[in-house]
Amino acid sequence: MAATGAADKAKPMAGVLVLDCATFIAGPTCATLLGEFGAEVIKVELPGTGCPLRKFGTMTEVGASLPWLSESRNKKSLTLDLRTPGGADILKRLAAQSHILIENFQPGTMEGWGLGWEDLKAVNPALVMVRITAYGQTGPYRDRPGFGRIANAFGGISYLAGDPDRPPVTPGSATLPDYMSGLYGALGAMMALRVAERTGEGQVVDLGLYESIFRILDELAPAYAYNGTVRERMGPGTVNVCPHSHYPTADGKWIAIACTNDKIFARLAALMGHPELAGEGKWGKTADRLAARSEVDAFVADWTARYTAAELLEMCEGGQVPCGRLLSIAEIFEDPQYAARGNIARMAHAVLGEVAVPNVVPRLMGTPGEIESLGPELGADTDAILEDLLGLGAEERAALKAKGAI
């Protein structure tokens, strides 16, 4: 996303140095978001093997996966074995110059290498340390391993996903908690950075993968505490409003219709040719429709099945009824709204040619973010980083390499 009309303006995170010591998706996403808006991000990877994300997902002929190329955008790669004294010493020296360090090892791992919060704070009191783990740094489950699927399950969203008479399913993507936690991690890092800039005191941003899922479960927690309600699986429906689901079309597609209040239902009823159902009619009030959910959904589905998706979209748009297609990724690539917003960035790669990746979000009109490069080759920037930031000459770097530190 080019900084059109703002090329001379610094990006919001310009001047911020980030050490990304994390692996897979959650922690690295946090760093990626900061890098898209101007932070200098150094990706710290194990010599020889690199971050596991390099081999996760669809592989390409350059030996790196598509997730790596997309999610490690705008980063420099530094190989460093933190388990060695030399590697740990290098990280400390880099941390002394950095603003944010991100890691997602199991609790206690960094401490075992002499790189825990107390160790890093000693060399840089203003450092912000983002720590994303399965369950956070505290609590009886702190030492348990976990990935996004486990966070979906423990966070409460998997229980809600699927049809009532079938087993729970993955809610959209097993990586949802990783991306959500990356977002919350970046938000926490920026807030902590403001404090550090004001007071000179850094702090830890502590986040469990499951917490980002639990946070988005709307009224689930207060409803249970208030009246003991345990929400069950409802398929494509939702608990508080109806009709609010997915409905078939005459051309074999699906549309989503959202009637979040009585006024919108009245518009839909008029479109269906039955205005008498709304207002003082039998389904005019939300409570009436919820009590007859199956009947209402069946009535709407019978109506949508008579028209094509395009016809339904045109009618609903004209009648001010929220409606949208359920798009496959192939349809997303052809959709004019995605094109108009530039939601798909097409990046040039020396070997692969054009690589399509999701573009930067959010959209800042004055100082927009930008994708400057795809995920780097392993260790591509090791020499430059060590020489430019730490002043290490060729002999010193060779000695570190001989010891397996880089």
For residue 253, the model assigns a pLDDT of 98
pLDDT at 5: 42
Residue of 81, 178, 206, 297 marked catalytic: 178
Helix (H, G, I), strand (E, B) or coil at 187: helix
- Cis before residue 177, ω within 30 degrees of 0? no
pLDDT of residue 2: 37
pLDDT (tens digit per residue) in 134-159: 999 999 999 999 999 999 999 999 99
Q: Of 319, 314, 325, 361, which Cα lies nearest the Cα of 342?
A: 361
Give me the phi and psi of 149, to 5 degrees please. Answer: -60, -40
State the DSSP H helix or E strand holding residue 94, giving kind and residue range, or none if neither. Answer: helix 85-95
pTM: 0.94
Looking at the DSSP bridge assignments, the partners of residue 100 are 18, 128
Q: What is the pLDDT of residues 23-76, one digit of tens each?
A: 999 999 999 999 999 999 999 999 999 999 999 999 999 999 999 999 999 999
User: What are the residue boundaries of the structural domains of the chain, listed by start?
Assistant: 17-215+341-402, 244-248+254-325
pLDDT digits (tens, 9 = 90+) for 307-321: 999 999 999 999 999
309: its two tokens: 């998706």
The sign of the CA dihedral 214, 215, 218, 223 is: positive
Looking at every residue in the chain, the average pLDDT score rounds to 96
Answer yes or no: 383 catalytic.
Answer: no
Contacts of residue 50, Cβ cutoff 8 Å, sequence gap at least 6: 77, 79, 378, 379
Q: What mean pLDDT is predicted for residues 214-239? A: 96
Residue 183 has pLDDT above 70, yes or no: yes
* pLDDT of 189 over the 70 cut: yes
Neighbours of 72 (CB within 10 A): 29
Q: Which two tokens stand for residue 138?
A: 């505290």
Return the pLDDT at 399.
97
Enclosing H/E stretch for 349? strand 344-349
Class of domain 17-215+341-402: alpha beta
Tens digit of each residue's pLDDT (9 = 90 or more) over 333-374 = 999 999 999 999 999 999 999 999 999 999 999 999 999 999
Three-state secondary structure call for residue 323: strand
Out of 3.30.230.70, 3.30.230.10, 1.10.10.10, 3.30.1540.10, which CATH number does the structure's domain 244-248+254-325 have? Answer: 3.30.1540.10
